[in-house]
Chain A
Amino acid sequence: MNRSDWPLWEVFVRARRGLSHQHVGSLHAPDAAMALRNARDVYTRRNEGVSIWVVPAAAIHASSPDEKDPFFTPAADKVYRHPTFYPVPEGVEHL
């Protein structure tokens, strides 16, 4: 099989219960079942995770670097949009 026949998959791993899946990298695999197994071997053999998602890279729509300004800069100067005026109770993690 020609290497170019194997599609690219993006891999998301959840480190432990309560956390969301994080993007960890990508890999090639012939299908979703093999992509999950490859992800297990490549990304989770040192106790990194309890759950894996694989997504065909072709299914991801990404924002363009050219759109950076209209997309993101308007948020920078509106301090009232950031929840910085609330005290965070002690012991709350991952906020």
Chain B
Amino acid sequence: MRSPFFATPPATTMPDAAAYALRLGDDALVLSHRLAEWVAHAPELEEDVALANISLDLLGQARALLAYAGAVEGAGRDEDALAYLRDDRAFTNMQLVELPRGDFGLTIARQLLFSTYQRMLYARLAASSDETLAGIAAKAEKEVAYHVDHATQWTLRLGEGTAGSHARMRAGLVAVWPYADELFEADPLTDRLAAEGVGVDPSCLRGEWDAAVDGVLREATLERPEVRPAAGGGRRGLHTEHLGHLLAEMQSLHRAHPGVTW
């Protein structure tokens, strides 16, 4: 019997720059969907709007990155084909972004970890020798600066709020922290692209990220949880059980009605 965990990931013939844009685009697309799930469920109407705005920022980044990946690949796949017609094993997002939205504490914990990382990544990618990637990153970095601020403000308030909000924020950090290491995992693709000045070596972000996140947690009277790292592998198409369910919902309309518009 073929176990999905040991099967060879689908062979990719994508050029490096396309595979790289696809990774970053998949991160943005999947997290965008998770945040959109909050619409009409957030603790307050104002927060509904805030999370939807962040979701739409990420969706815009995903569209630009997936469209570019498709263009560089040159196989006729547009942003819709990449978003809606790939199965979970072909998605190369990191696992952190696919975890279920959980409660508001978990969502804010994930936003803090991911947005802080993404801002540092985009700030460096804005200097990429690939003009399209540099342009996308420079525009997105301004958006993500706000996402970092939003997550930071809420981490401070939940951490320093009531015993209940503190406990939920701590539980959120415990749930997402095992997936933090994957943010900084370099592999042959990022090694090649970093050497060419096209991409960013994610491992070089770790020190700055640790300092930034630790600073917020300290001010919020929270601590970095002691947890074992998850197995990871999202960049290689290995995902948690949750991604398939997310894609089933996200892709169902396009798959049932290919090319539908309204």
Chain A residues with a Cβ under 8 A of chain B: 1, 3, 6, 27-30, 33-34, 37-38, 40-42, 45
Are B162 and A1 in touch, CB under 8 angstroms? yes
Are A34 and B149 in touch, CB under 8 angstroms? no
CB distance from A83 to the nearest CB of B (A): 42
Bound complex: CA of A32 vs CA of B248, how far in Å? 41
Contacts of B153 in A (CB 8 A): 33-34, 37
Binds A, one of B43-51, B110-118, B181-189, B211-219: B43-51
CB distance from B56 to the nearest CB of A (A): 9
Given A3-B44, A28-B44, A30-B157, decide whether A38 and B50 contact each other with a Cβ distance below 8 A. Answer: yes
Is B101 part of the contact surface with A, judged by Cβ < 8 Å?
A: no
Bound complex: CA of A55 vs CA of B127, how far in Å? 41
Bound complex: CA of A60 vs CA of B127, how far in Å? 48
Interface size on B, residues (CB 8 A): 16
Is B236 part of the contact surface with A, judged by Cβ < 8 Å?
A: no
Closest to A35 in B: B46
Are B53 and A45 in touch, CB under 8 angstroms? yes
Contacts of A3 in B (CB 8 A): 44
Contacts of A38 in B (CB 8 A): 46-47, 49-50
Contacts of B150 in A (CB 8 A): 37
Across the A-B interface, the 8 shortest Cβ-Cβ residue pairs:
A38-B46, A41-B50, A41-B49, A41-B53, A42-B49, A27-B46, A45-B53, A42-B46
CB distance from A91 to the nearest CB of B (A): 35
Are A37 and B50 in touch, CB under 8 angstroms? yes
User: Which parts of B24-72 form the interface with A (CB within 8 Å)?
Assistant: 43-47, 49-50, 53
What are 18 A-B contacts with C-beta separation under 8 Å?
A1-B161, A1-B162, A1-B165, A3-B44, A6-B44, A28-B45, A28-B46, A33-B153, A34-B153, A34-B157, A37-B50, A37-B149, A38-B49, A40-B146, A41-B49, A41-B50, A42-B46, A42-B49
CB distance from B59 to the nearest CB of A (A): 14
Contacts of B149 in A (CB 8 A): 37
Contacts of A1 in B (CB 8 A): 43, 161-162, 165
